[in-house]
Amino acid sequence: MHNFNSGPSVLPQEVLQQASEAVLNFNNTGLSILEIGHRTNWFIDVINEARQHVKDLMQLSDGYEVLFLHGGATTQFMQVPMNLLDTGETAAYCDNGIWGSKAIKEASLFGNAFVAASSKDKNHTYIPKNFQVPSHTKYLHITTNNTVEGTQWHQLPEVNVPLIGDMSSDIFSRQVDFSRFDLIYAGAQKNMGAAGVNLVVVKKSLLGKIKRPIPAIMDYQKHIEAHSLLNTPPVFAIYVAMLTLRWIKKEGGLAEMEKRSIEKSNLLYSTIDSLSLFKCHVAKEDRSHMNAVFFIEDENLQNKFLEECKAANMVGVKGYRTVGGIRVSMYNALASESVQAFCELATYFNQKNS
């Protein structure tokens, strides 16, 4: 089975094995990981290890705090402005796709959401460059990888305001100067683990500056004070994230993840570009290493190709419902052999139908 799902997505086999064993007997305690208390030393050790792996991989100072929260990245669309944007203040956003657009909509409930840059004019097939962010804005929010549209920021914008990154779909896939960000959030279900937990990495000096009351469960500072245990956390999802982070470090860290990612995406794009039936509309310099989005312009042929993918045990290749087409997601745990198999099928299909 070749798992190209965009999320929840493929996980390392050894992580699946370890997690399945822990469901029956966690660390020889005689209890399932699903049964242990979240305030026991057993779980405290898990979340502390996960937190340390994040800081090690990101090479961040003690000025940053690592949180594991409920709600996924979508909750952060509102939680970020709730904590950082006072009534009447302005935050800058990049509208580079569906998730950025959703974040803008939520931010407008708490203050002014200024669209600093947009790729809407070309159906979000590129990343804007050389845009200006007004100095009075409280922060700039970007989505570093656009899962639906297949674009990625390969160079971070230079700004003089705090930078906020939704890194849900390319977190831990490449080497980044994470200290350029003041806050990062990411749903776990792409490169970091199972669905059900959201990672938030925040510079502590960024917080505590707004006058608006914040509900305790939405207040980053309250979660920091409680070490992500303000309420019962998603224990199993955090455990799987810890195992996945441990696997990333064991495999060679972010340098190795980036090397594999570039190799897989180069193979995929070079194949697609060489085939007459397949068209990728994304600007070459902005193509995502995580999610390749492309089309067969003849819809009947495209549906036929999707059926052949299904017959070849390739799942998750149908494009997002608002975009259509074909999408191949190439997260950390996807073996290069799966990309090779897809390229061979696409080449054979092109030869047979062109």
Question: Among all residues, which ones are annotated catalytic?
Answer: 99, 166, 190
Residues 349 and 274 sit within 8 Å (Cβ to Cβ): no
Task: State the Cα angle at 73 between 128 and 54, rounded to 5°.
Answer: 95
- The residue assigned the tokens 């979000």 is 124
Q: With left for phi above 0 and alpha for psi between -120 and 50, is residue 229 left, alpha or beta?
A: alpha
Look at residues 282, 60, 259, 273 and name the one whose alpha carbon lies nearest to residue 153.
282
| Dist. CA 113–CA 94, nearest whole Å | 10
DSSP letter (8 states) at residue 280: -
DSSP 31-79: S-TTTS-TTSHHHHHHHHHHHHHHHHHHT--TTEEEEEESSHHHHHHHH
Beta carbons within 10 angstroms of residue 25's beta carbon: 12
State which amino acid sits at residue 39: R
Q: What is the 3-state secondary structure (H, E, C) of 122-177?
A: HCCCCCCCCCCCCCCCCCEEEECEECCCCEECCCCCCCCCCEEEECCCCCCCCCCC
